[in-house]
Amino acid sequence: MSKRNKNNTLKANWNKKEKDIMFSFPLGSQTVSDAHLLHYFFNVVRDLNNDNSLIKELKERGYDIKTLTFSILKEEDHSRWHK
């Protein structure tokens, strides 16, 4: 699940209530696609040598997905934000 946030960050983090990774994206034109991009890389992309997503691979390596936090600020002077 994803939602807009009022700050200028693209985020992924564990949500206790939903028991899943949640994605949020900055205000702006077509930024929901950025949340979809994160979802794709965390959950869909597979290594050519096996069938693991990044999340599954991290779990198998002993990482606690419930502590997952990813956050990145948008670059304010990028041309994408000034169309």
pLDDT digits (tens, 9 = 90+) for 6-24: 788 999 999 999 998 999 9
pLDDT attached to residue 12 = 93
Residue pLDDT, tens place only, 49-60 = 677 788 888 999
Q: Confirm if 83 and 31 have CB atoms less than 8 A apart.
A: no
d(CA 1, CA 42): 13
pLDDT attached to residue 42 = 85
Mean pLDDT of 39-44: 85
d(CA 12, CA 35): 8
Residue pLDDT, tens place only, 28-39 = 777 889 999 988
pLDDT category at 68 given cuts 50, 70, 90 is very high
